[in-house]
Amino acid sequence: MGEAGPVRRVRADARRNTDALLEAAATVFATSGVDAPVREIATTAGVGVGTVYRHFPKRADLVAAVFRHAVDACADEAPALAAEHPPGEALARWLLRYTDFIATKRGLAAALHSGDPAFDALPAYFDQRFRPALDALLAAAVDAGEARCDVAANDLLRAVANLCGPAHDAGPDHARRMTALLVDGLRRGAVSPA
């Protein structure tokens, strides 16, 4: 039996720096776009420019990491909502959280579809993280009689993404209102448990 190599642990301060960088980059990208100066990201994060480049040598690496970080935060919220709320409400709250995710990531769309190989794995990552989170919430809501049983998680993910598309004459809360209507439709036809 061979010996396993040492497990590399990330120092707490290095983890904080990375998290601060990702949060700062997300904030800067939302206001200034993904081509914002690295110095602006470093200043917002409270780190030096060298720290940014040490963690993310290419801008595409940083953009992909910001996207994955946001996907993880949204997906990880599903079990917490399930623990805190009845199944139908947990599902509704997570779909609204996902709506906010889609709405705030619109600015990354052009970068993600640029053809850069750094982004090739992101659609599969998105599916790998979001579908199980939504599957669990949807199944619990169906079992509780709070959602109809003929809807698939993939359909809901696509529907919300479509509802988050730009509407030229709608206000900033348009997507959330449309998602709330979608949730109302999920409740219609739900079968109460025996």
Give the number of domains in the chain.
Answer: 2
| Residues with Cβ within 8 Å of residue 41, at least 6 apart in sequence | 21, 24, 25, 28, 52, 62
- Shared-domain flag, residues 14 and 67: no
- Shared-domain flag, residues 52 and 122: no
Q: Give me the sign of the Cα torsion angle 134, 79, 129, 62.
A: positive
Query: Residue 109: which domain range?
Result: 59-187
Would you state the pLDDT for residue 19?
Answer: 86
Could you count the other beta carbons within 10 Å of the beta carbon of residue 39? 11
- Shared-domain flag, residues 125 and 41: no
Which is more confidently placed, 160 or 193? Answer: 160
Res. 154: pLDDT tops 70: yes
Would you state the pLDDT for residue 106?
Answer: 65
Q: What is the pLDDT of residues 98-130, one digit of tens each?
A: 998 887 776 677 777 788 888 888 889 999 999
- Measured between alpha carbons, how far is residue 84 from residues 51, 89, 93, 109, 124 in Å? 38, 9, 11, 32, 29
String of DSSP letters for 105-146: TGGGHHHHTS--GGGTTHHHHHHHHHHHHHHHHHHHHHHTTS
- Is residue 124 in some structural domain? yes
Q: What is the crossing angle of helices 87-104 and 153-163, to 10°?
A: 50
Res. 194: pLDDT tops 70: no
Q: What is the pLDDT of residues 6-57, one digit of tens each?
A: 555 557 777 777 888 999 999 998 888 888 999 999 999 988 999 999 999 9
- Shared-domain flag, residues 53 and 77: no
Would you state the pLDDT for residue 1?
Answer: 47
Mean pLDDT score, 148-152:
93
- Shared-domain flag, residues 71 and 159: yes
- Shared-domain flag, residues 46 and 72: no
